[in-house]
Amino acid sequence: MSITDNLLAFTFAATLLTLTPGLDTALILRTATVEGRRQAFHAALGINAGCLLWGAAIAFGLGALIAVSELAFNLLKYCGAAYLCWLGLNMLVRPRQALSPVETDSRAGTNWFFKGMLGNVLNPKVGVFYVSFLPQFIPQGQPLVVWTFGLVSIHVVIGLIWSTVLIGATQSLAGVLRRGPVIQWLDRTTGLIFVLFAARLALSKR
C-alpha cells in the first residue's frame, strides 16, 4: 500500500476502535453528566495522554517488552486491575448525594486528568494492542519512531473529537442527570462497570 493508503486504513481502523464502547466511554459519559463539561474534558485529555505515553513506549521498545514478557505483562495487568477496582469500589460503596463546590475547581480537573491517564497507562492490553496493531500501518523502510508517534497522534485526535461529541450530547440532560438520586445511580453504575473491567483485565491473557 502507498503511504496515503496506510494513513487512510489506519484512520478508519482507529475510528472503529474509538467508537466501540468501553471503559473510556463510560468514564467520559459519567464525568460529563455528573460533574460537567470541564471535568469531562480533563478526563478525556488524561485518557489521550495515556495513549501518547503508550506510543512513546512502543516507539522506544518498552511495548515490545510488555508483549513478550509474561512477568512484565502480569505486573502491569494486576496494577491496572487493582487501580480500576479501587476506583469502582469507591463509587459503589460511597456514591455521592450531590455535587460539592470543590468538585468544580481546578484541583478536581487535575484529579480527573490523572485518573484518565492512569486508567489507560496501567492497562497492558493497550500496549499489546499498539504493538500488534501499529506496525501493520507503518510502510517498510519508514522511520519507526516518527510513524509510531504520527499514527498515535491520529488516534488521539479521533479520540478527542469523539470525546467532544459525547460530552456535548450530555449537556441537554445535565440538569436532570445532576439530581441527587441520579448522581448516586450514575456513580454506582460506573463503579460496577469499572469493577467488571478490573475483573476482565485481571483474568485476561495476552
State the CB neighbour count (10 A cutoff) for residue 172.
Answer: 9
pLDDT value at residue 154: 93
Which pLDDT tens digit goes with each residue over 160-192?
999 998 888 887 666 665 666 777 787 788 788
71/127 Cα distance (integer angstroms): 14
pLDDT for the residue numbered 185: 80
27 falls within a domain: yes
Is residue 173 situated within a structural domain? yes
The confidence score (pLDDT) of residue 157 equals: 95
% of the chain surpassing 90 pLDDT:
13
Q: How confident is the model at residue 104, as a pLDDT?
A: 45
| Cα–Cα distance, 49 to 41 (Å, whole number) | 12
- Domain range for 156 is 3-11+22-203
Task: Please tell me whether residue 36 adopts helix, strand or coil conformation.
Answer: coil
* Grid coordinates given for 80: 491496572
pLDDT for the residue 45:
94
Residues 81-85: what's their mean pLDDT? 81
107 vs 46, more confident: 46
- Domain presence at residue 17: no
Whether residue 16 is contained in a domain is answered as: no
Q: Check residue 206 and give its pLDDT.
A: 59
State which amino acid sits at residue 140. Answer: Q
Is 175 among the domain residues? yes
Domains of the chain: total:
1
**3-state DSSP call for residue 204?**
coil
Phi, psi of 56 (to 5 degrees): -65, -40
Say what the pLDDT of residue 48 is.
92
> Per-residue pLDDT tens for 33-74?
777 888 899 999 999 999 999 888 888 876 566 666 788 778
Identify the residue whose cell numbers are 450514575.
186
Q: Report, as an integer, the average pLDDT of 110-128.
A: 80
Residue 139 inside a domain? The answer is yes
What's the burial of 72, exposed, middle or buried (CB within 10 Å: 0-12/13-18/19+)? Answer: middle
Contact between 167 and 39 under an 8 Å Cβ cutoff? The reply is no
Query: What is residue 102's predicted lDDT score, i.e. its pLDDT?
Result: 39
Residue 146 covered by a domain: yes
pLDDT at 44: 93
Flag whether 41 is in a domain. Answer: yes
